[in-house]
A and B are shown apart, each in its own frame.
Chain A
Amino acid sequence: MSAILRKIIAPGGIPAWGIRVIASRTYSSSAGGKEMTVRDALNSALDEEMSADPSVLLMGEEVGEYQGAYKVSKGLLDKYGPKRVIDTPITEAGFTGMAVGAAYHGLRPVVEFMTFNFSMQAIDHIINSAAKSNYMSSGQISVPIVFRGPNGAAAGVGAQHSQCYAAWYASCPGLKVLAPYNSEDARGLLKAAIRDPDPVVFLENELLYGESFPISAEALDSSFCLPIGKAKIEREGKDVTIVAFSKMVGYALKAAEILAKEGVSAEVINLRSIRPLDRATINTSVRKTNRLVTVEEGFPQHGVGAEICASIVEESFEYLDAPVERITGADVPMPYAANLERMAVPQVDDIVRAAKRTCYRSVPVAVNA
């Protein structure tokens, strides 16, 4: 077995560091851990980092008086004042560039994009001024900035508000791209991102904000931090590996439940970090199970799944017993109608079907999502 530390947290239970516990999947907390929504987790992480370091500031549209467009920055304006929680005008290019300039000069800004779709107006600054600066200046100017906001599809918000940017940002050297799933991920990764000396793109998910997850006492500690670049095995299995990030991890876990009833034991990996991608964990898992299914919400071409597939083929080709299955969003701009939207985004049965295909438990059918 590999030397990578595997952290398994039984939901509702106490995290077991280095001890392998067969995860019993129940969402209802049984062994008495606290629960926290992702929104509160993010809020608490921001709060703690801002109180620990006075050079951390938050800027974005509606982060102050409106308490955050999705209420993630609730209460921060009252606590830290308008000089550290800054409501900006609607000028993504301008304020993102300004935040990058401030980061050049020693501050640690956290820039909130109301959704990552709006980051396209500022992408020049994220990539050209932030990601490439440490390299262009040969280490003289590092950019300790965090770009965060909801990413991916919400519910019925249409094509221009629903794109997933994980693949775009993850292809750029100089950036770190994180995608938390549950509250613990949210807390740990955001704290790590703020403390990191490099530009970090932090992709949240709007639909996960309100979801409540059990959280350990250790994760509630103010020095809690998750390492960037390490994926987490949410559920151990031996027949097929399912890799996902953000909201799709929840779907993958549900699919694993269904598969378990049919005798297929699925291993679910929560990527946590899209760049750097934890190829080691994925490869080790595939070498164990010999089958791989990747799940993401974004567009199929040049997506995260494509990169994982290439990585597996390069490094673990002989271990594969079946072709890698990629489940992605449909290759269309997000439609508005509710039923069409459901078809354009991966659903739990798509994951189940794909997993079964890799196990040769069903007739191969053309992927329809």
Chain B
Amino acid sequence: MAATAFSASKFTQSFSLNSTRSVDRPPLFPASHPLKTTPSSFLGSTRKLSLSSPSSSTSRRRRRRPSRSPAVVAVSEVVKEKKSKSNVSLSNPLITNEEGLELYEDMVLGRSFEDMCAQMYYRGKMFGFVHLYNGQEAVSTGFIKLLKQEDCVVSTYRDHVHALSKGVPARAVMSELFGKTTGCCRGQGGSMHMFSKEHNLLGGFAFIGEGIPVATGAAFTSKYRREVLKEADCDHVTLAFFGDGTCNNGQFFECLNMAALWKLPIVFVVENNLWAIGMSHLRATSDPEIWKKGPAFGMPGVHVDGMDVLKVREVAKEAIGRARRGEGPTLVECETYRFRGHSLADPDELRDPAEKARYASRDPISALKKYMFENNLASEAELKAIDKKIDELVEDAVEFADESPLPARSQLLENVFADPRGFGIGPDGRYRCEDPKFTEGTAQV
């Protein structure tokens, strides 16, 4: 196919890791994409881009199809235009003062919490597999802060910050990590399995790709509730977070297909941090541009700079809005980076220090700080106050977790089944769970 040769050359040009990309990268294939039909309301500002309008009109003439709206444009370009216009006018920043402080606080909470996790791990208070989110806070904050409490989030093993952004109290998360009974899952889940029914955080999955079908199911439920159970105002959206490595997994494609087929209210958020433990994304993937996989299934695929929380937020608004209106799923690829290794047990030797330094200079928290100062959205004092508040919150969470008790022996057998008669009938002919010793942890099973 001619397009492949074209894409190969584009690849070597614009995908080299040694150049600062993303902010400066031109949108790829706007003119030659066969799937573009009627201009969508997705990313309304795409209509302003001169590059995409001629192609959209030609493809409209060429192919009549019911409105499917794949926007195959680098959003970063769009937002950059918006931002440059706003810098000129200085009167139209993307966020208000309150929103800015909220975003800042959430990102600082994520960062401080993860740093504290690392400390606690090296002191032996936390154990097992711990995967930290440092550097990727913009994605979590940018997306989750736009959700309602009833919307669902499904994540992977790198789920502490998703839980915090969704509203799970820091104390509950820290206790869970320490394995105490006051944790959000009473110590039975652990770092990789954060669940919260109250905040609609449906996990925390260790197997990659496992959360994606579960998220698709939650989105399916939302649609089912609206259409079959007749809960007319049920417009809950589900966000599925996963990484670049997962995009090579079969379940990912199966769910892209079903979500687009049945127009489920879901947003697939790819946190492309370029590395799957020690496997570089470029070594593992035939076509590393993940956003392109969306249009192949009939949904928009968008690429966004995941180190910039405002850009992520703009894209998220549009994608979540689309899902809420019933227009179907979106695939959003956030280019981001994790400052630490894959997990706390990962020596992180394979990544180039220059690459790490480059991304560290694009730290999302510093970027937001700078933006807020430049646009007079917050003062130094306000931000310092937030920093202090978060420090205290995290300290308090650690203290709380430290002082919490370990789970009681009887907790071992609890919650295996919702209906505990699943443990069967004991030798005396009655259900095992009716034996009072069962919950004391002294019964023989």
Give chain B nearest CB distance to A364 CB in angstroms: 31
Q: Interface readout for A96-139 with B: 1 if CB under 8 Å, 0 if not?
A: 11111111111100000000000000001100110001111111
Nearest CB on B from A131, distance (A): 9
A64: chain B residues at CB < 8 Å are none
Task: Flag if B202 contacts A104 (CB, 8 Å).
Answer: yes
Q: Are B228 and A276 in contact (CB under 8 A)?
A: no
Q: Residue A198 at the B interface, CB < 8 A?
A: yes
Most A Cβ at <10 Å: residue of B222, B251, B427: B251
Asked whether, in the complex, the Cβ of A94 is within 8 Å of the Cβ of B427, the reply is no
What's the minimum C-beta distance from A139 to chain B, rounded to whole angstroms? 4
Q: Quick one: which of A91, A129, A283 contacts B427, CB cutoff 8 A?
A: A283
Chain A residues with Cβ below 8 Å from B193 are 136-137
* Distance from B155 Cβ to chain A, minimum over Cβ atoms (Å): 13
Q: Which residue of A lies closest to B423 (CB)?
A: A276
Partner pick for B188 among A105, A135, A173, CB 8 A cutoff: A135
Asked whether A229 lies within 8 Å of B214 as measured between CB atoms, the reply is no
A61 to B214 alpha-carbon distance, docked (Å): 19
A338 to chain B, nearest CB (A): 36
Count of B residues near A, CB < 8 Å? 58
Scan residues 397-445 of chain B and give those whose CB is less than 8 A from a CB of chain A.
Answer: 414-419, 421-429, 431
Asked if B418 and A139 make an inter-chain contact with CB atoms under 8 angstroms apart, the answer reads yes
User: Which residues from chain A contact B195 at a C-beta distance below 8 Å?
Assistant: 133, 136-138, 140-141
Kindly list chain B residues whose C-beta atoms are within 8 Å of the C-beta of A133: 195, 203
Give the residues in chain A near B427, CB-CB below 8 Å: 279-280, 283, 315
Residue of B nearest to A176 (CB): B422
Select B197's contact among A3, A83, A137, A281, beta carbons within 8 Å: A137
The residue from A57, A83, A89, A277 contacting B424, defined by CB atoms under 8 A apart: A277
What 1/0 mask marks residues of chain B from 230 to 261 whose CB sits below 8 Å from any chain A CB?
Answer: 00000000000000000000110011011001
CB-nearest residue of chain A to B262: A86
Question: Which of A94, A96, A107, A315 neighbours the largest number of chain B CB atoms within 10 Å of its CB?
Answer: A94
B189 to A89, Cβ gap below 8 A? no
A44 CB-CB contact with B under 8 Å: no
Q: A55 interface residue, CB < 8 Å from B? A: yes
Among B127-135, B204-212, B364-372, the one that faces the other chain is B204-212
- A279 contacts B210, C-beta separation under 8 Å: no
Does A93 have its Cβ within 8 Å of any Cβ on chain B? yes
For B216, the closest partner residue in chain A by CB is: A98
| B394 contacts the other chain (CB 8 A) | no
Residue from A83, A129, A141 in contact with B227 in the complex, judged by beta carbons closer than 8 Å: A83
Given A93-B251, A100-B213, A176-B422: A139 touches B415 (CB 8 Å cut-off): yes
In Å, the complex CA distance between A57 and B195 comes to 25
Render A280-298 as a binary contact track against B, CB cut-off 8 A, 1 for contact.
1101000000000000000
Q: Is residue B139 within 8 Å, beta carbon to beta carbon, of the partner chain?
A: no
| B152 at interface, CB cutoff 8 A | yes
Q: Give the complex CA separation of A315 and B427 in angstroms.
A: 9
A96 and B185 CA atoms in complex are apart in Å by 24
Given known pairs A55-B229, A280-B427, the reply for A94 and B421 (CB within 8 Å) is no
Chain A positions within 8 Å of B250 at CB level: 93-94
Q: Contact at B216–A94, with CB atoms within 8 Å?
A: yes
Answer whether A94 and B255 are a contact pair too, CB < 8 Å, given A100-B213, A107-B224, A280-B426: yes
Contact A104:B214 (CB < 8 A) given known A57-B224, A138-B186 = yes
Residues of the B chain whose Cβ atoms lie less than 8 Å from the Cβ of A197: 417-419
A-B contact pairs, 29 of them (CB 8 A): A3-B429, A54-B229, A57-B228, A94-B254, A94-B257, A97-B217, A97-B251, A97-B255, A98-B216, A98-B220, A101-B214, A104-B202, A107-B221, A125-B214, A134-B415, A136-B189, A136-B193, A138-B188, A138-B414, A140-B185, A140-B197, A174-B416, A198-B419, A228-B422, A273-B424, A276-B422, A276-B424, A279-B425, A280-B426
Nearest 7 CB-CB pairings of A with B: A101-B217, A97-B213, A276-B424, A94-B254, A137-B195, A101-B214, A142-B418
13 A-B pairs besides A104-B217, A136-B195 with CB distance below 8 A are: A57-B228, A83-B228, A94-B213, A94-B254, A101-B217, A105-B222, A135-B188, A138-B414, A143-B418, A227-B421, A229-B422, A278-B424, A279-B424
